[in-house]
Structure 1
Amino acid sequence: MMNKSHWMACFAVVFSCSSFAGEWEIEVGGFFSRTDTKLNAYDPYLDKIRTIDFESDLDLKEFTALPYVELEYYFNQKHSLYADWRSLHREATRTTVTKPFEITNDGVTYVVQAGSKLTTDLDIDIARVGYGYQFYTSEKWAVDVLAGLHVMWLSLGLEGKLGAKASGVDEFPVMFVDDAVINDVTAPLPDIGIRAEYALTPDWIIKSHAQVFYLSVDDIDGYLLEMDIGAKYLFTDQFSMAGSFNYYEVGVDYESDRSSLDVTYRFYGPMLTLAYQF
């Protein structure tokens, strides 16, 4: 399974291999969002899988700002390649855990007990790469169909007095460790979508896009949903600013009898970006 640097290198190759004459656009900005992150994990006391909410149960920050960057290359009038990246890194300490849970990594099951003190470090990075084809244009409208891949990297760090035992062992753990780090990366999720722009005036443009995907194979379920609507103002032909409302949700679920690292990541809120074409 490739790590983040390998995926970034692959994304760079997609753009560097393009030999068409065209133009580039770089867009940078941020989200001011409400974030909701859930983990499905085994509860050893209730003997069932339960949902752990990172914001309400583990005190991770719910309202936060996320950086965003996108690079797009337009060629042959109707074609484009794009890649973007967004990131959310958070850390919080819960003095008294109210929902005990277990998670398994590399053959070791870590147990977070009720009443214990726990520091949680959750880092999530999401990258998207794809192709756009502008299938409809008019004096006011420009509509593209989109197809690409999403990749999500997740690093979960737990620090506290954690019980640890070999996977599949039923008795209560007698060994304790102070921290555990679980790193994971989703397989790339393909997605399809549509993007539309409508020119209100020569300087103001209404823009929107939506992308979706769902996959279920054996014990693995993966899905994503992204929707965005807003407006863009053109200061010049090369320089613009955009404001929009963005909703983004991605989930990858790995089910088993006694362990599960099923993560749902959702954020929504206003987004502000600046773009430059060259």
Structure 2
Amino acid sequence: MFKRASLGLLAVVCTTGHVKADEYKFTLGAFYASSDSTMLVKSAKDTGNYYLLDFEDDLLLTEDQFLPFFEFQYSFKERHHIYVDWKSLHRNADTPQLGFDIEIPEFGDNDQSYVIDGSAKLSTTLNIDILRIGYGYDIWEGNDYTVGGSIGLHTMFVETIFEGDISLCGETSEPNSLCDTVSFTPKVVDNALTAPLPNIGLFGMYEFYPGWQFSAHAQYFAIKYDNFKGSLVDIRAGVSAMICENFHLSLAYNYYDVDVDIERSRSILDKEFRTLDYNINYSFTGPMFAVSYSF
């Protein structure tokens, strides 16, 4: 009986509403992600007009995928928290034949672009990593609940790689046409960009039974600056239970959506023409499973 009473007391102490000082928490989990990625390109399909190339529909990248995630949280001085988490979505696919030539821009500040032969095999890689770093503070505390606020920064690291028969293209006199003459050779085009998105949020926890907690958080931010536009929505609610000392099992439902759009244009013959319209939408709505260890 004494042993059972001791274990019960341990469960209550480990899951109390007040966060003990200097606590470290590591979380490993998995979620189901859905992605939608597009790029505005010049296309021979539309006689040189712009075409919205879809990475999932046109280039056959997987739209839905089961992925891991990692979270770390350091809690100190009763009410303060520093957290870091990471999500990764790496995809690649081979397109036997796109069916039409396309011209893709260089992500840099120059006007250089490439023409991809649509009659040849094209290999596409799209890697997205999202790193979140933030700070949280418990505003209200009780014996069985906590409510707080947070500020942080989500940063998307995006790498786009095309491998196929590709030709380097310079400026053309006709802005809505592909290069006049091209010489296709095996080539790899590797473009990368980094998109930071700050965020603000609220979080809360309620212990409805010793060892069982309901928790939720919501984060949001939107920004538009120069040729960059981005938004972030992150809402999660779930239940966690202590399965043994210092270990918790969590089940949550999460809505997560990050959207980044980068546009660029240049003036030709006193008219403005878009040279880059690159959109990445990374989202998922569904269950998340995780195991946490704290000490």
TM-score normalised to structure 2 length: 0.79
Q: 1:81 to 1:48 in 2, by over 3 A?
A: farther
Q: 2:127 corresponds to which residue? A: 123
What are the residue-to-residue correspondences of 1:218-257 with 2, within 5 Å?
A: 218-236=226-244, 238-256=246-264, 257=274
Q: Which of 276, 285, 291 in structure 2 is aligned with 1:259?
A: 276
- Gapped regions of structure 1 (runs ≥ 5): 1-20
Q: Report sequence identity in percent.
A: 32
Greater shift after overlay, 261-270 or 205-214?
261-270
Q: 1:213 corresponds to which residue? A: 221
Q: 1:111 to 1:263 in 2, by over 3 A?
A: farther
Q: 1:24 corresponds to which residue? A: 24
What are the residue-to-residue correspondences of 1:193-208 with 2, within 5 Å?
A: 193-208=201-216
Q: Does 1:190 align with 2:208?
A: no
Q: 1:147 to 1:78 in 2, by over 3 A?
A: same
CA displacement, residues 200-230 of structure 1 (integer Å, 9 cap, x when unaligned): 2112212211111111112211111111121
Q: 1:37 corresponds to which residue? A: 36
Q: Classify the secondary structure of the residue corresponding to 1:180.
A: strand
Q: 2:79 corresponds to which residue? A: 78
- Gapped regions of structure 2 (runs ≥ 5): 1-20, 265-273
Q: CA deviation at 1:168?
A: 5.4
Work out the CA distance in 1 between the residues paired with 2:192 and 2:219.
26
Partner amino acid, structure 1, of 2:216: S
Q: 1:240 to 1:165 in 2, by over 3 A?
A: same
Q: CA deviation at 1:129?
A: 0.3
Q: CA deviation at 1:185?
A: 1.3
Q: Classify the secondary structure of the residue corresponding to 2:209.
A: coil
Q: 1:169 to 1:175 in 2, by over 3 A?
A: farther
Q: Does 1:158 align with 2:162?
A: yes
Work out the CA distance in 2 between the residues paired with 1:258 and 1:250.
23
Aligned residues of 1:103 and 1:110 also touching (Cα < 8 A): yes
Aligned residues of 2:205 and 2:215 also touching (Cα < 8 A): yes
Greater shift after overlay, 257-266 or 200-209?
257-266
Work out the CA distance in 2 between the residues paired with 1:168 and 1:272.
52
Kindly name which structure, 1 or 2, has the bigger radius of gyration based on alpha carbons: 2
Work out the CA distance in 1 between the residues paired with 2:37 and 2:100.
13
Aligned residues of 1:40 and 1:49 also touching (Cα < 8 A): no
Q: 2:285 corresponds to which residue? A: 268
Q: How many residues align?
A: 256
Greater shift after overlay, 99-108 or 53-62?
99-108
CA displacement, residues 161-184 of structure 1 (integer Å, 9 cap, x when unaligned): 123302556433513243211111
Aligned residues of 1:205 and 1:231 also touching (Cα < 8 A): yes
Q: CA deviation at 1:48?
A: 4.8
Greater shift after overlay, 167-176 or 262-271?
167-176
Q: Classify the secondary structure of the residue corresponding to 1:81.
A: strand
Aligned residues of 1:121 and 1:158 also touching (Cα < 8 A): yes
Q: 1:9 corresponds to which residue? A: none
Aligned residues of 2:252 and 2:288 also touching (Cα < 8 A): yes
Q: 2:153 corresponds to which residue? A: 149
Q: Classify the secondary structure of the residue corresponding to 1:60.
A: coil
Q: 1:269 to 1:133 in 2, by over 3 A?
A: same
Work out the CA distance in 1 between the residues paired with 2:73 and 2:156.
20
Q: Classify the secondary structure of the residue corresponding to 2:60.
A: coil
Aligned residues of 2:42 and 2:102 also touching (Cα < 8 A): yes
Q: Which of 171, 176, 190 in structure 1 is aligned with 2:184?
A: 176
Q: 1:261 to 1:236 in 2, by over 3 A?
A: same
